[in-house]
Chain A
Amino acid sequence: MVLLKKGQSEVIGLVIIVLILIVVGLIFLKFYLSKENSNKESISNIKANNLVNAIKSVSICNNNMADAIIACCTKKEFCGKDACQLINEEINDILEKSLEEIVYFEAKQQNNLCLSINNDCQGISSTENLIRNQDGDAKIRVKICY
């Protein structure tokens, strides 16, 4: 058994105390940061859900955007124009005017992507909203990028 000198054992004690302090500091920091993030995430989630709700119900050509999105997914014309092109222009305009953050928008029909605006990113997503009319259905969602 190796016997430690008094000085060496004191250094080891000091190192242990410093390590304990670092561990306690890290645990505190983890809880502090996760609380901040969860608050931000909850706000972004509300914003994303409000936005997707506003997009699907906005009036366009005496109909609503949900009908235009379904027309795009079923490759039909809407309002005498190509539905996808029309939606692209209008939703881009809405996203630009309503939020400062970059927002990704997508519409899917039977898991096939029929329309996307902006690039997919890391962020907070809205819930998937099912829109339906006599021509079919689609799922839409937005994601607020970090």
Chain B
Amino acid sequence: MKKGELQIYESVFVIFFFVVIFMIGFFLFYRFTIEDIKGSNFEFQDYKFKQLIGIIPSMYEVRCSFSLSDTECIDLSKAIAFKKVSKDYFNIFGYKKISIKEVYPEDKNAVVIYEKIPNKYKTRREISSPVAIYDATLDKFKVGKIILEWYY
């Protein structure tokens, strides 16, 4: 081979090698960006899920309402009534299960107020928070737990 030919082959090889490295870099950058977007989306969904323990007790659909006072608690009668229409709240809650359980003075079974579980899911996450409950039938305030389950 002549010296000129050799230099042409060398240049072609360098360009080819550079293109391969560039393509690998671009592919990795694309993969990392996609993973990062997926991670950010999950973090946002997770944040929304956790914030629900503060949002649900303040929802007018379930919160206590007295004529002259403002007590932040869950009215058990309202919560049970909400269960009948809760399927319309899929746009807000998504694939979740929301239940309220009385823990004090007595430990009672949980009342499910919203439930939408997908047919297939990879993971289930659960968080709970104490909450004040008003039992209108006894006119008494009790302590309960709001339990949120997220299926994804």
Contact = CB atoms under 8 A, between A and B. Distances in A.
A98 B141 contact: no
A47 B130 contact: yes
A58 B127 contact: no
A50 B50 contact: no
A43 interface: yes
Interface in B75-111: 103-104, 107
A97 B142 contact: no
B50 A97 contact: no
Interface residues of B, number: 25
Interface string B105-133: 00100000000000000000001011111
A133 B79 CA distance: 30
Nearest to A98: B130
Interface in A34-66: 39, 42-43, 46-47, 49-51, 53-55, 57-59, 64
A97 B141 contact: no
A42 B18 CA distance: 49
Given A51-B130, A54-B130, A58-B132, A98 B143 contact: yes
23 contacts: A39-B46, A39-B50, A42-B51, A43-B50, A43-B53, A43-B127, A47-B129, A50-B131, A54-B130, A54-B131, A54-B143, A54-B144, A55-B143, A57-B73, A57-B132, A57-B141, A58-B142, A58-B143, A93-B104, A97-B103, A98-B143, A98-B144, A98-B145
Interface of B: 46-47, 50-51, 53-54, 57, 71-73, 103-104, 107, 127, 129-133, 140-145
